[in-house]
Structure 1
Amino acid sequence: MFIRAIRKSEQNDDLPPIPPIPTQVRTNEEFIPMPKTGQQRHVDHVLNEYADQYGKVRGLSRREFFQTASGMAAAFLAMNKVYGMKFFDVEEVEAADEAAAVEAAARMGGQFIFDIQTHHLRSDTLIGVTDPNLKMLADLLGGLRAGQVPGSGLKDLNKANFLREVFMESETSMVILSGNPAEKDELNAHPVDQMVRSRDEANMKLGAVRMLAHGLIAPNLGVSNLDDMERQVSQFKISAWKGYTADGVGTPGGWFMDDERVAYPVYEKSRRLGVKHICIHKGLQVLWFADKYSRVNDLEKCALDWPDLNFVIYHSAFPYFSDLANIRRWKGYLTNIYGELGSTFALNVVGAPEQCAHVLGQLVTYLGPDNVCWGTDSIYWGSPQWQIEAFRRFQIPEPIAKGYGYMQLTDEIKAKILGLNAAKVWGIDPAAKMREIAAAGSVTPERLVG
C-alpha cells in the first residue's frame, strides 16, 4: 500500500491547507490565472466540511486530515456531491474510517503504471534567463507548476524533485522523460543530452530501468534536424521522438504531419534508424501555437502512409479529442494511432468531471481501449500520485455511458490505459518489469541523493 509523503509545503502554516487533489484549474492554455468557478468554490466548502466532520473526532486539523487516505476519499466525495453524479467510486465510510479508505485504495491499486509524458527542466540555469523565447517558456512552465502546487514554482522543476515526486511519492513504475525541441541546445529548457543524463542517473540510482527518454525532432529545420536525429540515436539511444507541429522552433508557423516534403523525410530517417514511435504534441495551445497546426487533420494520411510507425498524439489533441477519436471510429484499421492523456485528464477531472467522462468515453469507445496511453505531464502538476488515484476511481456515470453509448471504464481497461498499452508499444514485459522493480528494493531519499 502506498503511503503519501508529507511535503514541507503541506506543513507550512503560513499557507492554506493543500487539498489532496487540486480543486481549481489555475491556468488556461495561455497559463493566465483564472478565478475559481462557483462549483469549485463549493467543492472547497464541502471538502472542508468533511475535514471538520471526520477529522476533528480523530484530533486532526484540516491540514492533517488532507494528508490521510480519508482526506483523499473526502475530496472525491466532495466532487461527487457538488457535480451531482457519481464520477468517483468512493463511499462516505472511507472519509470516516482510515482503514476503510486504505483498504479501498489498495483494492483499486497494483497496476503496472507507465507514464509516457513526464518533464523536468534545467531550472537552475533558467532562472533569470534573458533570451525572450526561452524566458517566455520558463515563465509559462514555472507558472503552471506554481498554479497547481502552492508555494512552488520554476525552481522546483528540477531533477532532484522529479526523482522524489515520481519514484518516491507515487506508484509510477516507468516513465518517459520528454522535452521541447529548440533551434540550439542553449535555447532549450532541457536539451536531449541532459534528458539522457537524467535517464541514466535515475536508472542507476533506482537499481532498475525505469526511465526512458525522448529524442527531439523539428522537421521544419530540414537537413540539420535529420543530421541531429542520427546523433541522438547513435549517442543517446533514445526510445521515441517528440515533436510539436505548432512550434516553428525559431521559424514562423509550424508543420503538418502529412507534409511529404517536410515531415516524410523525418519518418523515413526514423524508420532507417530503427525508432518506430513518433510522439506529437497536438491541442493544448500555448501563446505562440497556431490553431491550424494544433489539430489532427494531418494525422490520418501519414498513419496510412507509414503503417510500420506508431503515431502517439500527446494530450489526445484536447480540445480536439473528438476529431482524434473519430479517425479510428470510421477507420479502425489505422491501429498505429494512439492518444495520450497528459494534462488532458488532470485539467478535466479537476475542473469539469462531466467533460472528463466524455473525453475518456470517446477515446475508449472510438479510438479504442488498446490505443489510449497514460501520461500526466508531471512534474508540472506536482507528483503524479493524485492523478493515479483519481483515474483509478473515476467512472463514467451510467446516464452518460448509456445516453452516449460509451464503453465503461472497467478495471481491465484502466489497467490497459495505466500501463499495459504503452508497455505493448514499447516492448516492455510488465510482469518482468514489476519483478525487477521489486528486486531493486524501496526507493529512499538516501538512494536518490547517492
Structure 2
Amino acid sequence: MRKPCRVSGSSNDLKYALCQIDFPVLTCLAASPYLIFQVELAFGLRVERPIQDQIWEDEVCELKVKLNNAHVFLGGELSCALHLFFLKGPANMNSAKPLVDPDGARLPIKLDTTSNGEFEPVPLSPVNQAANRLAHEAADKNSKRLAVSRRNFLISACGAASTLLAFNAANAAAGNAGGFFDLPIEAALDPELAQARIGGKGEFIFDVQGHFVDPNGAWLQKLAPGEKPLSQMPKTGCALASEPGSHSYLRCLGPDEFIKDVFLDSDTDMMVLSFVPSKPDAEPLTIQEADAVRRIVDRMEGMHRLLIHGRVNPNQEHDLDAMDELKERWSVSAWKTYTQFGPGGKGYFLSDDIGTRFIEKARKLGVKVICVHKGLPFGKRSYEHSQCSDIGVVAKRFPDVAFLVYHSGFVTTVPERAFEGRGAYDGIDTLIRSLIENGVSPNSNVYAELGSTWRYLMRDPEGAAHALGKLLKYCGENNVLWGTDSIWYGSPQDQIQAFRAFQIAPELRARYGYPEITPQLRARIFGLNAAKVYSISPEEVKKYTQRDRIARERLAYMEHPEPHFLTYGPKTRREFLNLPGAGQP
C-alpha cells in the first residue's frame, strides 16, 4: 500500500520523485554516505549528515534537505531499495542519461600529472600525450562499433581494455617494450573477454595506503587568511562546495567521497587509512577523525574493511610519549613515520638513537609494524633522510619488526633501470643496496609498498617493469605490497585494472632474473602479502566483505555505476605550491 507522501518545498521534480512511487520514500539516506551523495548529485541538493553516533538503520526519521533557498522535508521509513530510482527516474529505469561526465570526456585509466602532494607534478611526456590521444580515438571508434554511448563504453570493461591497448600502441611505437599490458586486441570489443582479463577473479585486495581530508578539522584554523588549500582540484567543484564557508569545497574530499571512491567504485576489500607529515596541531587528518571514518565504515557492517595508522615522528616533541595512547585508545594497527620530516626541516634515520628508541617502543607496545615514507622527497633539505640507507641496518638489528617502505624509495626524477650496484645512490636502488649490504635476504622483514610508485610508473611501462622486477627479486615475491595513495588519485580502480593486465617482458625477465607476474603472484601483491603482515585471514575477511552492507550497496550500484574518473591531487606547480607546506620537510 502506498504510504502518505509528506513533501514541502519548491521542487516539482523532487515532489514527483518522492510521490509517484508505490513504496516508502527514503533510501537509507541517513545510513549510506553513497546514497546521500547520489541524491545530492541527481537533484543538486545538500543533505545534512546524521549526527555522530545516531542509530541509522531501521528507524523512522525525518531528513532535512536544502534545495536552493527552500527546504524539503522527507519523511518515511528507511529502505535500501530505491537508489536506482534516484539515478534513473521512474519513467525509464534503463535509459537514463548518465549524471556524471555524460559525454564521456574522461578516460577510465588516467595518465596525467596528478601528484599526491608530496612531489611536484611532472609533465606528461610526448609518448604519454600520444597514448591519451590514441585512447580517445579508440573510444570513439569502439563505442560506435558496439552501438553504445561513449560514456557507457568507457565505464565498461571494454572501455578500460581499449584504453590500455592504446597505451600499448603508443609505447610500442616509441620503442618502449620492457613492460606492457597483456591484453588481446579483441578485449576492446568483447565484454566477456575484457572482464575476464581486467575484472578480476575475486582476489583479495588490501590497499595499505589510503588518505582522506577532514573537511572540518582544526587544521583549517592554522591557515593564513584567504588560504584555500586544494581549492583548485577538479573534484572540489562538487555540489557540496556551494555551502556557506570559505572551505566548504573540502567536503568534496571528505569521508563520503572516500567510501564511494574506495569501496563502491573500486574492487578494494580493505584499506589502511594513513597520515601525511605534519605537526600535531596542524594535521589534515587527526587520529580522532580517522577513527570516526573507521566507525562510519563499521556502522555499514564493514568492521573488517578499514585499519588506521598511528602517526609518529620521534624527533618531534611528545610523539614518542603519545604512542601509548595511540595503541591503547585508538587501536592502531601500525605506525607511520616520515624520516625526512622534523623540527627546523631536519629529519632523522631509523638507525639514529631517536629512531632506535621509536622502534624499541613499538616492540614494547606489541605493534611491531613500522611504515616509513622513503623516496618521493619533499625538497632538498634533509634529502639524505628520504633515502633508504637505514632500512637494511634496522631490519637486520630488529628481525621481529616488519618495516614497510612506503613508495619503495622511488623518486620521480630517477629513471628506473636494472640494479647494477654501482652508483645506486637514489631511488629504489638505495633500498636494494641497503638490503644487500646488510645481509637482509628476500622475503625477510622488509616490505616494498607501491603507493604513488605504481601509479606514476603506469606512464612508463618499461620503468615499471624494472621497478617491480627489482622489488620482487630483492625484497621478495612475498614482500611487495599493494598501495595506491588514494584518494589523491581518485578511485583506485584504474590502478587495479592496469595492474591486473601488466606484465614484464620476457626479454627483461630472462636478462635480469625478474619473475613473470603470474595470477598467483599478482594475488599475493594485491593483498595476501599484506594480510600476513597485519595478521589477517583473507578468507575470514572475504566472508564478511562479500555480504556486508557495503557489498550489498555496491552490487546495486553496479547496475548503473557513476564513476567520476577524476583525481584530487595537484596537477600543476601552482596547485602544488598551494598546498600547506608543499616541498618542505
Q: Same fold (TM over 0.5)?
A: yes
| d(CA) in 2 for partners of 1:439, 1:234 | 30
Are 1:423 and 2:531 an aligned pair? yes
1:401 is displaced (CA, Å) by 1.9
Task: Structure 2: give runs of 5+ residues left out of the alignment.
Answer: 1-34, 43-97, 239-248, 412-426, 558-585
Are 1:302 and 2:394 an aligned pair? yes
Match of 2:254 in 1: 158
Picking from 204, 208, 214, the partner of 2:309 is 214
1:99 to 1:279, Cα distance in 2 relative to 1, 3 A: same
Match of 1:197 in 2: 292
1:239 to 1:32, Cα distance in 2 relative to 1, 3 A: closer
Match of 1:355 in 2: 463
Match of 1:373 in 2: 481
Match of 1:59 in 2: 147
Residues 116 and 488 in structure 2, CA contact (< 8 A), matched pair in contact too: no
Match of 2:185 in 1: 92
Are 1:233 and 2:288 an aligned pair? no
Residues 176 and 213 in structure 1, CA contact (< 8 A), matched pair in contact too: yes
1:118 is displaced (CA, Å) by 0.3
1:33 to 1:286, Cα distance in 2 relative to 1, 3 A: same
Picking from 511, 514, 525, the partner of 1:403 is 511
1:114 is displaced (CA, Å) by 0.8
Comparing 29-38 and 358-367, the one that deviates more: 29-38
Q: 1:95-136: per-residue Cα shift (whole Å, max 9, x none)?
A: 122233223334x4311111110001113448965536xx69
Are 1:36 and 2:144 an aligned pair? no
Percent identity, please: 33
Match of 1:188 in 2: 283
Give the secondary structure class of the aligned counterpart of 2:320.
helix
Match of 1:285 in 2: 377
Residues 47 and 75 in structure 1, CA contact (< 8 A), matched pair in contact too: yes
Residues 388 and 434 in structure 2, CA contact (< 8 A), matched pair in contact too: no
Q: 1:307-350: per-residue Cα shift (whole Å, max 9, x none)?
A: 2111111011102212213444562447111110000000111x
Structure 2: which amino acid aligns with 1:166?
A: V
1:254 to 1:383, Cα distance in 2 relative to 1, 3 A: same
Match of 1:324 in 2: 431
| d(CA) in 1 for partners of 2:308, 2:380 | 26
| d(CA) in 1 for partners of 2:163, 2:237 | 21
Match of 2:547 in 1: 439
Q: 1:119-173: per-residue Cα shift (whole Å, max 9, x none)?
A: 01113448965536xx69x44xx66x64xx6967854321110011111111111
Residues 334 and 370 in structure 2, CA contact (< 8 A), matched pair in contact too: yes
| d(CA) in 2 for partners of 1:315, 1:188 | 21
Picking from 337, 341, 346, the partner of 1:247 is 341
1:357 is displaced (CA, Å) by 0.7
Residues 127 and 155 in structure 1, CA contact (< 8 A), matched pair in contact too: no
Give the secondary structure class of the aligned counterpart of 1:197.
helix
Picking from 229, 250, 257, the partner of 2:350 is 257
Residues 18 and 150 in structure 1, CA contact (< 8 A), matched pair in contact too: no
Comparing 165-174 and 90-99, the one that deviates more: 90-99
| d(CA) in 1 for partners of 2:268, 2:435 | 29
Q: 1:177-229: per-residue Cα shift (whole Å, max 9, x none)?
A: 001253333x111011111221122122134321110001011025x112111
Residues 89 and 395 in structure 1, CA contact (< 8 A), matched pair in contact too: yes
| Higher alpha-carbon Rg | 2
Structure 1: which amino acid aligns with 2:113?
A: V
Structure 2: which amino acid aligns with 1:411?
A: P
Q: 1:260-316: per-residue Cα shift (whole Å, max 9, x none)?
A: 2x1111112111111110100111123476321100111121112212111111011
1:17 to 1:160, Cα distance in 2 relative to 1, 3 A: same
| d(CA) in 2 for partners of 1:310, 1:287 | 27
| d(CA) in 2 for partners of 1:14, 1:105 | 24
Give the secondary structure class of the aligned counterpart of 1:228.
helix
Structure 2: which amino acid aligns with 1:346?
A: R
Picking from 110, 115, 138, the partner of 1:50 is 138
1:23 to 1:282, Cα distance in 2 relative to 1, 3 A: same
Are 1:70 and 2:162 an aligned pair? no
1:304 to 1:36, Cα distance in 2 relative to 1, 3 A: closer
Give the secondary structure class of the aligned counterpart of 2:180.
coil
Residues 109 and 392 in structure 1, CA contact (< 8 A), matched pair in contact too: no
Give the secondary structure class of the aligned counterpart of 1:215.
strand
Structure 2: which amino acid aligns with 1:190?
A: L
1:295 to 1:207, Cα distance in 2 relative to 1, 3 A: closer
Task: Structure 1: give runs of 5+ residues left out of the alignment.
Answer: none
| d(CA) in 2 for partners of 1:114, 1:424 | 11
| d(CA) in 2 for partners of 1:281, 1:373 | 14
Give the secondary structure class of the aligned counterpart of 1:279.
strand
| d(CA) in 2 for partners of 1:13, 1:205 | 28
Aligned-residue CA RMSD in angstroms? 3.1
TM-score (norm 1): 0.87
| d(CA) in 2 for partners of 1:200, 1:150 | 25
Residues 168 and 181 in structure 2, CA contact (< 8 A), matched pair in contact too: yes
| d(CA) in 2 for partners of 1:226, 1:130 | 24
Match of 1:341 in 2: 450
TM-score (norm 2): 0.68
| d(CA) in 2 for partners of 1:35, 1:333 | 37
| d(CA) in 2 for partners of 1:20, 1:406 | 29
Give the secondary structure class of the aligned counterpart of 2:336.
strand
Structure 2: which amino acid aligns with 1:170?
A: S
1:90 is displaced (CA, Å) by 0.9
Residues 278 and 309 in structure 1, CA contact (< 8 A), matched pair in contact too: yes
Give the secondary structure class of the aligned counterpart of 2:375.
coil
Count residues in correspondence: 432
| d(CA) in 2 for partners of 1:446, 1:363 | 35
Give the secondary structure class of the aligned counterpart of 2:546.
helix
1:236 is displaced (CA, Å) by 0.6
Structure 1: which amino acid aligns with 2:394?
A: C
| d(CA) in 1 for partners of 2:405, 2:293 | 24
Q: 1:398-432: per-residue Cα shift (whole Å, max 9, x none)?
A: 12222322111111111111101110011001111
1:276 to 1:403, Cα distance in 2 relative to 1, 3 A: same
Give the secondary structure class of the aligned counterpart of 2:344.
coil
Structure 1: which amino acid aligns with 2:196?
A: E
Residues 393 and 434 in structure 2, CA contact (< 8 A), matched pair in contact too: no
| d(CA) in 1 for partners of 2:132, 2:477 | 33
Residues 303 and 337 in structure 1, CA contact (< 8 A), matched pair in contact too: yes
